[in-house]
Amino acid sequence: MKTQILVAMAFVSISFASCKKDRTCTCTTTTTISKGVTGGVEYTNSGPFSSTEDKTVMTKVTKKAAQANCVSNENTNVFTDIANGNTQTTVTKRDCELK
């Protein structure tokens, strides 16, 4: 009977322990000039202006902690040159995946 209780307690304590291991966050950052006006002429550029990939290795972390530090986001910046009226909208998107 004691053995069964000890085995059950060991199983329960193992199931509540967090699994810490090395995890990799891979992010791809893409910058696109989505639209602009140059010399009174409007243009749209749907292709990426630049794209980079980076990897961050987190050692001995839980999955929850790794997810909190592996975050995707998107930023939009609008630049207006008052002197000549040219505008440009730049979108930078960062897509991250935890492995």
Distance CA 88, CA 42 (A): 10
Inter-residue long-range contacts of 67-70, CB under 8 Å, 24+ positions, other chains counted: 67/98, 69/25, 70/23, 70/25, 70/27, 70/96, 70/97, 70/98
Amino acid, res. 34? S
Residues 60-78: pLDDT tens digits? 999 999 999 999 999 999 8
Instruction: Look at residue 79 in the predicted model and tell me its pLDDT.
Output: 83
The yes-or-no verdict on residue 98 having pLDDT over 90 is yes
| Reported confidence tier of residue 95, pLDDT bands at 50, 70, 90 | very high
